[in-house]
Amino acid sequence: MENVIIATILSFVITYFAIPVLIRVAELKHLYDEPDERKSHKVRIPTLGGLGFFAGFILASAVCVPSKDSFPLQYLLASFFVIFFVGMKDDLVGLSPVKKLVGQLVAAFAIIYLGNLQISNMYGFLGIEELPYHFSLLLTYFTFIVVINAFNLIDGIDGLAGSIGLVVAAVLGAYFLFANELLYAVMGFSLAAGLAGFLIYNITPARIFMGDTGSLLVGLVNATLIVKFIDVAGNPAGAMPLQAVPAIAFAVLIIPLFDTLRVFTIRMARGRSPFTADRHHIHHYMLALGLSHRQATGVAVVSNIAFILLAYNLQVIGTTALLFLVGGLALGGTTVLFVLKRRKEIAAEQAAAALAFAAEQAASEVQAAISKPKILRVNTETIMQDK
């Protein structure tokens, strides 16, 4: 317990004091995220925030993990450094999607193969229990890549990726603490505390962004925690076994995971690359409805927590039923947001059309009045009488 408390404090303090320095460095070196028509911010914002909580998280994890629980810490740290350099290069000079994917696979390899961490059981989903070894590896790699990119893709408004990452890391860290998995408990609380220190500067109005350096790290760490959670929580002989573990894991990551899978499906259905940027994310829908960055982030965080509580309390219904319930509710909620957004857009289009028509009519009347010839009528009788 002491290790977790020290790690939490250490990570928060390092991040909190590192961020102002990074803001100053970014201003001096002109390391900004430039606004454009697709992005939500209108001014240049420094992008080195990920470096701040990376330092806090890494130092806290390296110092506070008990030596008897240190395996596979060395492989985890190596993986985190790989993803850190991938994100840093992308923030500074840009990186193609293929090269980013290769870097993510290398980072995942260090954890899955060297750290011996993988999803080996589906715990009754569609009647599937133990997975064949090679299929287990493929599923684990797929999980890592999707979760890493999920956090990268939801990093579109102030505070969203950091807040969701904090919730996920704190929930999983708390579970591992009760399950006596101190290595992963320290990791979870270290990341949550680092993100808490970062969010002080990232909540609207944001003074700094986490960049790909931060979002890729948050995704990788939470992917590691969620795969370990499935392994530990699904073990009936463990310290804190749970039922319907894959469904609970899906609920823990519901906002980034469901949003990413939905957006990828939309893009591929339209014949586009799944990595093509657009404005079909859930947070874009909420902004279109008039919510501020802070309000949209709050709605997303509260929704994610609600899904976690729902899944935990309904775990007795089984993996398949719970997974479909969680997915169905997420789909229903997203559909409602989309319908409301479309109604608002249609109403705005109709109002604009009516305004344009009224302006056109007014212009036509003015033009007609100007071009109408004036006729001067002279009453000769009146003139003669006056004389």
* pLDDT tens-place string over residues 34-58: 666 655 556 788 888 999 999 999 9
Q: Name the pLDDT band for 385 (thresholds 50, 70, 90).
A: very low
Q: What is the pLDDT of residue 363?
A: 81
pLDDT band at 68 (very low <50, low <70, confident <90, very high): confident
pLDDT digits (tens, 9 = 90+) for 259-280: 999 998 888 888 887 777 788 8
pLDDT of 288 > 70? The answer is: yes
In a 10 Å sphere around its CB, with 0-12 CB exposed, 13-18 middle and 19+ buried, how is residue 364 labelled? exposed
In the predicted model, what is the mean pLDDT of the chain? 91
pLDDT band at 117 (very low <50, low <70, confident <90, very high): very high
Structure tokens at 13: 């303090």
pLDDT per residue over 175-195, tens digit each? 999 999 999 999 999 999 999
Residue 309 has pLDDT above 60, yes or no: yes
CA distance 245 to 112: 19
